[in-house]
Amino acid sequence: MTAEEKRIIRKQEEALALFLVNNFEDVHKIEFVSISKSRLGRPRLIYFSVNDKIEVSTDLKDSYDIQHYGLVYHNSSEELKRKEVPSKFTKLSEAQLYVVYYGENK
């Protein structure tokens, strides 16, 4: 991956983390585990875990909308529960959230 691709992916990971913490209950830790290779005309697929127990994947995008998103759950009977009233964090530093970005050491 080029430095530019890494920068774009980090920004997309941050957007996804912010979306998750704002819209789902009890999100305390997100670890981005793997990212698919870019496919012509298709977004990358990112695999991640929430709170070390819920395994999820979704398309990696620049922004997320609670009305138009898709999460695929893997190897788990648990799913994230939507908040009745979403949080309004605009920066990850405002949320009490631990994020391990793709390629980082824990």
Is the pTM higher than 0.95?
Answer: no
What are the residue boundaries of the structural domains of the chain, listed by start?
A: 3-100
Q: Give the residue carrying structure tokens 């793709």.
A: 102
Structure tokens at 78: 């648990």
The model's pLDDT over 19-52, given as tens digits with 9 standing for 90+, comes to 999 999 999 999 999 998 777 767 789 999 999 9
Burial class of residue 105 in the structure, from the number of CB atoms within 10 Å of its CB (0-12 exposed, 13-18 middle, 19+ buried): exposed
CA gap 39, 10 in Å, rounded: 18
CA gap 32, 106 in Å, rounded: 11
